[in-house]
Structures are given as C-alpha cells and as structure tokens.
Copies of this chain bind each other. A is one copy, B any other.
C-alpha cells in the first residue's frame, strides 16, 4: 500500500469519528436529557482526543512527506486530497497539547460565565474569563501563524475559511463600510414611502409549520432519505455523512422567522448532501470552508427565497397552510415583511442590509484584539463607536453590545467575517447562475429550485475542497470576489422596483 493510500485509510477513520461527533452533537441539542450533560461531555472529549491522536501520530508526518514526494502518480482529486490532509495536519500539530487543553478549558469556563453576564449586562463579570480565552486565542494564532506563514489573526481565520487573508478582506469590508451608511439612508427613506408591512395574525400551529417547512425543503431539493428536520433552541445544520440534520425553533405567534430559518439551513444542507460521492470520507470531499458554506445558505435564503419572484409563489402556499385570508397574506405584504430594513443592536435579528455592518464591526475589533491593538478594557467603548459609525445607533448596554454573541467567549475568533464573505459570494454566484440558467428566475416564481440547485451542485457542491475558495469562485463565475455584485443585488432589491429582487 502506498503512503497516499495509507493516509486515505487513516483519514477515512477520522471522517467516521467526525460523523460520530456530529451525531452526538445533534443529539445533545435536540434529544439529550439534561442529566446526561456531564457523561456526554466526556464522550465527546474522548472522541475529539482520539481524533487528534489519529491525526497527529508521528507516522502521519512521515506518510505525508512520502506521499508528497510521489505526487506524480496521483490524480488531481488525490493531489487535492493530499493537500487538504497536509492542511488538517498542519492545524492540528501547530498547537501544543497543553495549549489545546488550556484553550478548551478557558472557553468552557467563559461560556458558562457569559450566560449569566449577558443576562445581567455585566461585561466586567465576563472580562477575566474572556481575557483567558483571548490569551489562548492569541497564543494559538501565533503558533499556527508560524506553521502557516501568515499573521496570527489570519491563522485563526484560516481554521474556518482556508486561505482567507486580511489583504483580501480589508478592502472588501472597507468598500462595504463606505457604501452602507449612505445606502441605508436611502433605503430607509424609500421604505418610509411604502406601506408598512402588516403583521400576519396567528396562531400558527407547530405541526402546520413543520409540514410546510418540510414541503419547501423537498421543493428546494433536500433528500429526506439522507437527512431530517428537528427542533432545537438554536437552529443549525449538522449531522454526518449522508445524514444531514437540520433544526429550527417554532413560535406559534409568528411563522415567518422559523420558515425562513428552515430555508436558510436547507441551503447549508444542499451543500452537505451534494458533496462528491466518491470522496465523502476524505478531506477533499468536505465543504470548502465556512464562507462558501454560508454562501449556500444565503443563496437560498437571501438570493432566492426573499426574492419577489419566489414570494409570489410562496404567498398562496402559506395562506393555504395556515388558513389565512385578507391583504396581509398577499405576496406584496409578505415581500415587505421579508425585506423590512431596520437598524438594530442585535446581529442575529438584523436584516440583509444592516447585517454586514454588525460583521464588519466584529471583524475589525477581533482583528485588533488578536494583534494587541485593542484591550478588553476598551472593547465596550470601541463597540459603541463602531456601531455609531456604521449604523448610527449606540447600544444602551453591553447585553445589546459586545456581550450579545457566544463566539468570543466560546473561542470562535476568526469566524465572524465568513458571514459577510458568504453574503457577497452568494450574490456573485446567484448572478452567474442566473446568467447560465435563463429559466432560473422564472422557475423560482413557480417554487421550482431545480435550475438553481442543479447549477450549485455542478459548480459548488460537487467540487468539495478540490479548489481553493478563490479558484472555485473564479471557475464558477469567471472572476474573483467582487463587492460590486453584492452592492448591485442590494440596490436592486432595496432601491429599485425590480420584479425579481
């Protein structure tokens, strides 16, 4: 057996362990009784430890060296697979075991403190625990930076979005930060002249919401033979190979949020269900990264499902599902509900227009904290200042400011930018797909996602991690990431009377 094939065997076991961890994680959020928390944490930690041991065993370094010396005999997919193996190995071996453990402990502790500190809007209470997390993240960033040849913050980014570099993100986010305040003003001005959206009157029984959600998931292309829809406090798309588990949370007083949430997670799910069948258990068969992943949820939610074309189809469907009647149930009102813009303090409640401002703020702040240019002491003030500059509002307390997200206490530094990178990629992919498939938009108006899903499967899902994010985007759209397309999407939807936007 060649070194490459020995590596394939080992990485297949790693994928199997990853599948086990994925199902246990889903179970923890959806099914597990509270009393099992401690034993489950032990089980998950044990699997993570075994996985780390498998990946960092000394023999892996030798096998990688040997396989890389003989790439001439490998096919392109195998070569890309080997490249991803090396990438996984570099991330795993860059950080000493005691730092991994210290970081895991610091994050668990800070996450616990955060739950009460956020509720009490007490940043001072979180600060000591958060300082530990930040110190670990800086150390991890430095260790990985040395291994990857980039800055510490980029090394953290690279964990979620391989190859992402600030030299590419900074100008993109600066472009948007310049554009958004003026654009937002114009959007709000125009919105003020339109009728206000009428709320839809419930109640909306959970069972009817679930049935509608599953029906739309099927239309989008979700394969229930290889996945499920369940309920959890915080919606997510997780699970395992050929076993994609989506969740949502129902509110019987308002179906609109859960419904759009299901469509969003279905976008993620299509990516997972469309990964290359021959490579599912190998690194090259994994999704490319979190920015591309987010682009897949946002292309379904923001590009397709909130379009006027699709809402024309959806309006009578929801009317029938809930027995609604009257003008509030017309497509026009549904469109006004689903494209309502309103600056607010909370990222997860933000609309499509103001969301990037929340992300840009966090990106700039976490980059500065990792670089040592911003202290936790100064974080609340910097947050307020950034909100004022980007959205013109200042949070009245830290609960609605720098305490709102779990990412920093839980150690997810470097993750935030993927949301807005994903939104920009989604706009560019949708533009390319619409040009390549002329009936994509008209078919959406009939609730038919087949042209969009087919194009995505060929150009994105089925490619796994064969290409870098930038090459993937270039091959699919003919150009690098271009914020102009994202801006144009926003302008068409929020400023022009475009029947499709």
Residue A131 interfacial (CB < 8 Å): no
Nearest 10 A/B pairs, CB to CB: A36-B243, A16-B46, A35-B226, A39-B241, A35-B225, A19-B43, A16-B43, A20-B43, A36-B242, A16-B42
| Shortest beta-carbon distance from A238 to chain B in Å | 13
* Complex copy number for this chain: 2
A selection of 17 A-B contacts at a CB cut-off of 8 Å is A13-B49, A16-B42, A17-B43, A19-B42, A19-B43, A20-B43, A20-B44, A20-B47, A23-B24, A23-B27, A31-B31, A33-B224, A35-B225, A36-B241, A42-B281, A47-B47, A50-B50
Residues of A participating in the B interface, judged by any CB pair closer than 8 Å: 12-13, 16-17, 19-20, 23-24, 27, 31-36, 38-40, 42-47, 49-50, 223-228, 240-243, 280-281
Q: Is the CB of A223 within 8 A of B35?
A: yes
Q: Is the CB of B19 within 8 A of A39?
A: yes
Q: In the complex, A36 Cα to B281 Cα: how many Å?
A: 13
Q: Is the CB of A240 within 8 A of B36?
A: yes
| Shortest beta-carbon distance from A225 to chain B in Å | 4
Interface of chain A, main secondary structure: helix
Quick one: closest B residue to A225, CB to CB?
Answer: B35
Q: Is the CB of B281 within 8 A of A40?
A: no
Residues of B within 8 A of A19 (CB): 39-40, 42-43
Residues of B within 8 A of A42 (CB): 12, 16, 19, 281
Residues of B within 8 A of A49 (CB): 13
Q: In the complex, A34 Cα to B33 Cα: how many Å?
A: 25
Residues of B within 8 A of A50 (CB): 17, 50
Residues of B within 8 A of A243 (CB): 32-33, 35-36, 39-40
Residues of B within 8 A of A17 (CB): 43, 46-47, 50
Q: In the complex, A24 Cα to B31 Cα: how many Å?
A: 12
Q: In the complex, A42 Cα to B12 Cα: how many Å?
A: 9
Q: In the complex, A484 Cα to B279 Cα: how many Å?
A: 62
Q: In the complex, A227 Cα to B36 Cα: how many Å?
A: 8
18 more A-B residue pairs beyond the given contacts A23-B24, A35-B226, A39-B243, with a C-beta to C-beta distance below 8 A? A16-B43, A16-B45, A16-B47, A17-B46, A19-B43, A20-B24, A20-B46, A23-B27, A24-B24, A33-B225, A33-B243, A35-B223, A35-B225, A35-B243, A36-B226, A40-B240, A40-B243, A47-B47
| Shortest beta-carbon distance from A169 to chain B in Å | 35
Quick one: closest B residue to A12, CB to CB?
Answer: B42
Residues of B within 8 A of A228 (CB): 31, 33
Residues of B within 8 A of A45 (CB): 16
Quick one: closest B residue to A240, CB to CB?
Answer: B39
Q: In the complex, A24 Cα to B25 Cα: how many Å?
A: 11
Residues of B within 8 A of A31 (CB): 31, 228
Residues of B within 8 A of A12 (CB): 42
Instruction: Indicate the member of A35, A43, A224 with the most B CB atoms within 10 Å.
Output: A43
Quick one: closest B residue to A280, CB to CB?
Answer: B39
Residues of B within 8 A of A20 (CB): 20, 24, 43-44, 46-47
Residues of B within 8 A of A242 (CB): 33, 35-36, 38-39
| Shortest beta-carbon distance from A170 to chain B in Å | 40
Residues of B within 8 A of A40 (CB): 19, 240, 243
Residues of B within 8 A of A23 (CB): 23-24, 27, 43
Q: In the complex, A13 Cα to B44 Cα: how many Å?
A: 10
Residues of B within 8 A of A227 (CB): 33
Quick one: closest B residue to A36, CB to CB?
Answer: B243
Q: In the complex, A493 Cα to B36 Cα: how many Å?
A: 40
| Shortest beta-carbon distance from A294 to chain B in Å | 24
Q: In the complex, A24 Cα to B43 Cα: how many Å?
A: 12
Q: In the complex, A224 Cα to B33 Cα: how many Å?
A: 7
| Shortest beta-carbon distance from A48 to chain B in Å | 11
| Shortest beta-carbon distance from A55 to chain B in Å | 13
Quick one: closest B residue to A27, CB to CB?
Answer: B23
Q: In the complex, A34 Cα to B224 Cα: how many Å?
A: 9
| Shortest beta-carbon distance from A150 to chain B in Å | 33
| Shortest beta-carbon distance from A78 to chain B in Å | 20
Q: In the complex, A67 Cα to B34 Cα: how many Å?
A: 36
Pick the contact of A34: B38, B43, B46, B225 (CB < 8 A): B225
Residues of B within 8 A of A226 (CB): 33, 35-36
